[in-house]
């Protein structure tokens, strides 16, 4: 326990010891139910996709014992080389890199709550001998960003993710009609060619033993965009054992061969296109990427969720076909700076 004048913070080292109150916090705080839910936290604690050296969960309580915030923190490196850490340097960061939407997961997104959380993170980082700590993948200008800035942290541009308003489109045909005539025609042409070629599209729950070789396509995609090592097929396969309630696997095959695949997370209000890859064979008469994205968008419509989180990278395609950019920031500081 660590107390301030207004808040008490309880430090927890495993998801199994989290307060039962945390199960409903994401909904109350208006943050991702999946990334801040016990299923994802448990999966990443047991089978992290990037190396995690220590895990800390900060439960923040008001003076009346109400849980007001949950902050998952991980001692981890910087696989995207976005923070300027030295080779091999570790930092205490919230959330993990594989959560593209980090928030101050609090029912009260105020500088006061942020200050209590930041102070506790500083103490943990200092005790662990870490020089830096903070938040990554925070939407620019969001209430979380404003609260962290109010707590004395400075945001720096980090990345961009993309999203789509599915509710506004209504259904697949409504989505196509929202596109420019030329782009709508191109999408129809790609899907028609794929259909003529005989592609098959399936979506399913993860199995208990996903074959890592079918996930190798994720590694190949990240290597092509300059982030080799960000995904590990073996680690994702192990991770998926623990996300069978919230995850879906979308697969595109041609003649029995896998040509595109994605892992998608479903929650009440969003479908997250979390990880994916596709075959870039120029001999194919269509792009498997079009087919894969169409399958994910259609999955969102079937699930009745109002928003698609399209993930990061490939901005030209995503903006052209109806997604909006959401800039992300990192709020990371030195331990001695935060103490001043």
Residue whose C-alpha is closest to residue 70's, from 111, 96, 37 = 37
Q: What CATH code is carried by the domain that includes residue 219? A: 3.40.630.30
The label of the residue with tokens 């075959």 reads 279
d(C-alpha 129, C-alpha 75), whole Å: 11
Instruction: Verify that 332 and 269 share a domain, yes or no.
Output: no
Beta carbons within 8 Å of 242's beta carbon, 6+ residues apart: 39, 42, 43, 46, 47
Instruction: Verify that 270 and 260 share a domain, yes or no.
Output: yes
Instruction: Verify that 57 and 191 share a domain, yes or no.
Output: no
Instruction: Verify that 150 and 172 share a domain, yes or no.
Output: no
pLDDT at res. 339: 44
Instruction: Verify that 116 and 217 share a domain, yes or no.
Output: no
- Burial tier of 257 (Cβ tally within 10 Å: 0-12, 13-18, 19+): exposed
pLDDT at res. 3: 62
Instruction: Verify that 172 and 287 share a domain, yes or no.
Output: yes
Instruction: Verify that 104 and 185 share a domain, yes or no.
Output: no
Q: Are strands 270-278 and 307-312 parallel, antiparallel or unpaired?
A: parallel
Alpha-carbon dihedral angle through residues 103, 101, 337, 53, given to the nearest 10 degrees: 110
Give the residue numbers spanning the domain of 303: 164-326
pLDDT in tens, the chain (340 residues): 666 678 999 999 999 999 999 999 999 999 999 999 999 999 999 999 999 999 999 999 999 999 999 999 999 999 989 999 999 999 999 999 999 899 999 999 999 999 999 999 999 999 999 999 999 999 999 999 999 999 999 999 999 999 999 999 999 999 999 999 999 999 999 999 999 999 999 999 998 889 999 999 999 988 888 888 899 999 999 999 999 899 999 999 999 999 999 999 999 999 999 999 999 899 999 999 999 999 999 999 999 999 999 998 889 999 999 999 999 999 999 998 744 4
Q: How many CA atoms lie within 13 A of 60 on its CB side?
A: 28
Instruction: Verify that 129 and 182 share a domain, yes or no.
Output: no
Q: Is 81 left (phi over 0), alpha (psi -120 to 50) or beta?
A: left
Instruction: Verify that 154 and 22 share a domain, yes or no.
Output: yes
pLDDT at res. 340: 43
Work out how many domains the chain is built from and give that number.
2
């Amino acid at each position: 326990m660590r107390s301030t004048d207004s808040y008490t913070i309880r430090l927890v080292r495993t998801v199994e010891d989290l307060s039962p109150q945390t199960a409903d916090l994401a909904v109350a705080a208006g943050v991702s139910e999946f990334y801040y839910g016990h299923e994802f936290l448990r999966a990443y604690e047991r089978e992290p996709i990037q190396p995690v050296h220590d895990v800390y969960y900060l439960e923040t309580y008001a003076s009346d014992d109400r849980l007001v915030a949950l902050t998952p923190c991980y001692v981890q490196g910087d696989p995207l080389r976005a923070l300027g850490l030295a080779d091999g340097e570790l930092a205490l960061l919230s959330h993990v890199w594989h959560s593209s939407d980090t928030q101050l997961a609090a029912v009260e997104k105020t500088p006061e709550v942020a200050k209590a959380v930041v102070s506790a993170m500083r103490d943990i980082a200092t005790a662990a001998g870490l020089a830096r700590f903070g938040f990554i993948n925070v939407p620019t200008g969001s209430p979380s960003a404003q609260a962290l800035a109010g707590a004395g942290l400075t945001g720096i541009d980090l990345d961009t993710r993309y999203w789509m308003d599915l509710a506004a489109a209504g259904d697949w045909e409504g989505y196509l009609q929202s596109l420019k005539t030329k782009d709508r025609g191109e999408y129809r042409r790609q899907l028609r060619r794929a259909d003529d070629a005989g592609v098959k599209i399936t979506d399913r729950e993860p199995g208990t033993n996903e074959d890592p070789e079918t996930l190798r396509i994720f590694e190949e995609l990240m290597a092509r965009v300059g982030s080799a090592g960000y995904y590990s097929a073996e680690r994702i396969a192990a991770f998926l054992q623990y996300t069978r309630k919230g995850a879906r696997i979308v697969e595109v095959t041609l003649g029995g061969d896998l040509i595109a695949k994605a892992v998608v997370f479903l929650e009440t209000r969003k479908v997250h296109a979390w990880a994916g890859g596709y075959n870039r064979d120029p001999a194919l008469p269509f792009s498997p990427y079009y087919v894969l994205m169409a399958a994910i968008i259609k999955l969102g419509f079937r699930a009745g969720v109002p928003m698609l989180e399209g993930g990061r990278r490939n901005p030209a395609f995503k903006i052209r076909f109806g997604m909006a950019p959401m800039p992300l920031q990192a709020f990371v500081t030195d331990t001695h700076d935060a103490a001043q």
